[in-house]
Structure 1
Amino acid sequence: MNLNPSTIQTPGFAHYNLAWSPFHTNRIALASSANFGLVGNGRLHLVSATPGPNGLPALSIDKYYETQDGLYDVAWSEIHENQLVTASGDGSIRLWDDLPIRAWQEHTREVFSVDWSNIKKDTFASSSWDGAVKLWNPERPRSIMTLQAHSACVYQAMFSPHQPDLLASCSTDGTVKVFDLRSQSYAPGTNSFTNPITAAALTIPASGTEILTLDWNKYRPMVLASAGVDKIAKIWDCRMIKLGEAPQVGGICETQLLGHEYAVRKVQWSPHRADVLATASYDMTCRIWTTAPAPGRQQLLHIHDPHTEFVVGCAWSLYDDGILASCGWDSKLNVFRM
């Protein structure tokens, strides 16, 4: 493994998350906030990662855009190569195309995640501290669906990469929920279905503490990873869901990945390997794991620890197997190769 990452720093702005472009191999978007996101403005950075002499990309900031409040997440459009959407601390969502071209203000608290469907490419989702998950079409002035997903803060919501109408969310209430967007909601105790959707097809009691992050496996349908305050990344087999039937409670925990010293803020499966995932943690490390270690080998493959503050974001390159980017509150973006 190459232990010397390519690095770029954005003084004064702590990073909250990053995303590689699905259209360009060398473009990264960074969502950042002044004063660690507690108060003040935000900034959207667009970074180029051009091939370098040591096998790692050379990083440079192409441009950046100021926002009135901190940015917590960013997602690239799956339709237009230069468009992306951001999640803001003031409850707003903005669509960018060199400039902000559209804004929505329906959430009543901070928007903490955005995710663009890679199957239903005209749809993206947002999740908020107000407990709601909303679905959006970038051409429409209002949301197209609202899920009253949790009774507390929803840290992340993500579309399944295998089935366009499945969406998973995680919350401070310690659960992971999977919603079937095609179905009306089954109301427990009434033996009837209601509209709009308020009940999940599957609820996983994933932890006794807050669940901060989740991700769908890119090769194994109905397999999810989750992690949070309990410092453990857990792998869930959700094949027990029977869509269209009464809500299920459960989920089988296939494995647990232990080693982080503080809360795990981000988990992401590799887009190239079914058994490899990365985690980012408040212990200032980004770690790479395998869920299928060779006999006698450990699940932990590598610890990336050049960061000097909380590591809150990580993302695999969509085109180059083994390239991972990490970002944190030290204002640094690191790119390194397994």
Structure 2
Amino acid sequence: MAAGPDGLMIERAYDTQDGLFDLAWSEINENQIIGSSGDGSIKMWDATLADFPIQNWQEHQREVFSVEWNLITKDVFSSGSWDHTVKIWNPQAPRSLQTYTEHTHCVYSTSWSPYNPTVLMSGSGDQTVKIWDTKSPRSVQTIRAHNNEILSVDWNKYQDQMFVTGSVDRTVKVWDLRRPDREVICLAGHEFAVRNVKCSPHRPNIVASAAYDMSVRFWDTAAPLGQNMISLHDAHTEFVLGLDFNLYVEGQVATCAWDETVHVFVPPGLMGR
């Protein structure tokens, strides 16, 4: 996309053979983007080159639901698939570097630690979050986080042991790896499954969640219990699937939904907390 006199304009478009579930810009090359597909493939495009992928990996046996770049080791990314696996990739390698097979249900989300370059976590339909260290062939920790499928996970950007989860059980939970037997706080309010959770890149206590109830909610985890929801965005008219904070404009958020719209806004009540 590029900004024009009439707003956002399409700069380049790519056709694919199946639906795309996730996209992620490269952390090392500003022109490269990876996409995960319903046909089990992961493709990489370069915005400066032709209309065809510059790389195409076809290892997953089912839909690839998520892809994410490592924030520290910037030439590595992860993928999570409905084939129950988590895979680690380098864009220069023809095959995955590692495959983890311990989950017993779809892997919906993966997230790299912003503190440790070899640590990532995954959230699955088997109701668990698993912590992986790429130096180990097996998971280093397993947390039964919900009583239903876990659709999204994200690390806190300021507290290296803290992360959040979003589930089909309609709740958002905050966790501390040092006390994995029980969540730090359970944030209830969504009316349907929570599809996406994101921790603020600017404040350690702010969490956003997007759900199938067509809403986006903003939470202050440091507020008194029962007063945690600080803002509600309910302008979408269909399921809200995509959610992210702007790294460069504090408080600004972008969301996308099945209503074919993208909303960019600063939630009231978020600033100054």
TM-score normalised according to structure 2 size: 0.92
Report which structure shows greater RCO (CA 8 Å, sep ≥6): 1
Matches within 5 A, 1:32-111: 47-48=1-2, 58-98=7-47, 99=51, 100-111=53-64
**Counterpart Cα distance in 2 of 1:224 and 1:149:** 20
Amino acid corresponding to residue 311 of structure 1 in structure 2: V
Q: CA deviation at 1:222?
A: 1.5
Q: 1:69 is matched by which residue type in structure 2?
A: D
Deviations for 1:98-145, whole angstroms, at most 9, x for unmatched residues? 241100000000000000001011100011000111111001111111
1:251 CA drift (Å) = 4.2
Q: Which runs of 4+ in 1 moved over 4 A?
A: none
Match of 1:287 among 197, 202, 217: 217
SS at match of 1:273: coil
Which residue of 296, 302, 308 maps to 2:237? Answer: 308
**How much has 1:60 moved relative to structure 2?**
3.5
Q: Confirm whether residue 275 of structure 1 aligns to residue 205 of structure 2.
A: yes
Counterpart CA distance in 2 for 1:59 and 1:95 is: 23
In structure 2, the partner of 1:42 is none
Partner residue, 1:37: none
Alignment map for 1:254-265 (pairs within 5 Å)? 254-265=184-195
5+ long unaligned stretches in structure 2? 268-273
Q: Is the 8 A contact 1:74 1:84 kept in 2?
A: yes
8 A Cα contact 1:73 1:112, kept in partner: yes
**RMSD value, Cα:** 1.8
Mapped partners of 2:117, 2:193: distance in 1: 30
Secondary structure of 1:253's aligned partner? coil
Conservation of the 8 A alpha-carbon contact between 1:237 and 1:251? no
**Structure (1/2) with the larger strand percentage:** 1
1:211-256 deviations in Å (ceiling 9; x for gaps): 110000000001110011100000000035xxxxxxxxx4441111
Q: Is the CA contact 1:236–1:251 (under 8 Å) kept in the aligned structure 2? A: no
In the alignment, structure 1 residue 323 sits paired with structure 2 residue 252: yes
Q: CA deviation at 1:331?
A: 0.8
Find the counterpart in structure 1 of residue 153 from structure 2: 214
Change (3 A) 1:88 1:133: same
Tell me, which stretches of 5 or more residues in structure 1 are unaligned?
A: 1-46, 184-196, 241-249
Q: How far apart in 2 are the matches of 1:324 and 1:49?
A: 17
In structure 2, relative to structure 1, the CA distance for the partners of 1:48 and 1:220 (3 Å cut) is farther
Q: Structure 1 residues 68, 288: CA separation in 2 closer, same or farther (over 3 Å shift)?
A: same
Corresponding position of 1:19? none
Identify the residue that residue 270 of structure 2 maps to in structure 1: none
The TM-score, its normalising length taken from structure 1, stands at 0.75
Match 2:168 to one of 216, 221, 229: 229
Partner residue in 1 for 2:271: none
Letter in 1 for 2:204: A
